[in-house]
Amino acid sequence: MEKWIKLALEMGFTEAAPLDPAALRPLESVRAYCAEEKCGYYGKSWACPPACGSLEDCAARVHAFPKGVLLVTQAHREDESSFDEIIAVSRRHKARHYAFAEKMQAALPRVLALGSGGCSLCETCTYPDAPCRHPDRMVSSLEACGLQVADVCRDCGIAYHYSGKTITLASACLFEE
């Protein structure tokens, strides 16, 4: 675990901490946010509801892993009304998370990446016309799995601040060594 935490910090995450998949509690109330379609991925990706399966399916998927690491990016924006700054931080966080997951996937037999926002592995998702191009690497969001990001951070000992000029984004990689 130490080497993955060290690598995460070297790659630029603000914080990284061990995550116990058994403690993750998927909630219907969180999954319900997806249906509001605020992020634009609902019904448009294999990694998001409804294609990613029921809450029970997601719970079984995350609980099948013995270990995990939480990866957090915290940033401050100049203008607290600027959506562009959120997009820029989100792009950097996602790129870092995908690069981290790729390193884990190259070294370990089983890895499940859970992201911040919908899957961006491909420029355009094949959903619903063709199968997912990378079913072993696709990235569902923590929220799609019914996981409340602030609670996951707190349970991992990381303070979650997202207000005013502070942006906090969290992703995870669950794994088996």
For ligand SF4, the binding residues (CB under 6 A) are 45-47, 119, 121-122, 125-127, 132-134, 138
Nearest of 64, 60, 37, 61 to residue 49 by alpha carbon? 37
Question: How many angstroms separate the CA atoms of 46 and 53, rounded?
Answer: 9
3-state secondary structure of 7: helix
Q: How far is the CB of 123 from ligand SF4 (least distance, A)?
A: 8
**Least distance to ligand SF4, CB of residue 112, Å:** 13
Please say which residue, 55 or 113, places its beta carbon nearer to ligand SF4: 113
Q: In the bound complex, what is the minimum distance in angstroms from residue 91's beta carbon to ligand SF4?
A: 15
Whole-number Å distance between alpha carbons of 154 and 148: 10
Nearer to ligand SF4, 45 or 168 (CB): 45
Nearest to 11 by CA among 95, 85, 113, 122: 95
**Burial letters for 8-25: b for 16+ Cβ neighbours within 10 Å, e otherwise?**
beeeebebbbebebeebe
Output the smallest distance, CB 144 to ligand SF4, in A: 11
| Nearest CB to ligand SF4, comparing residues 60 and 122 | 122
In the bound state with ligand SF4, the residue whose beta carbon lies nearer, of 127 and 160, is 127
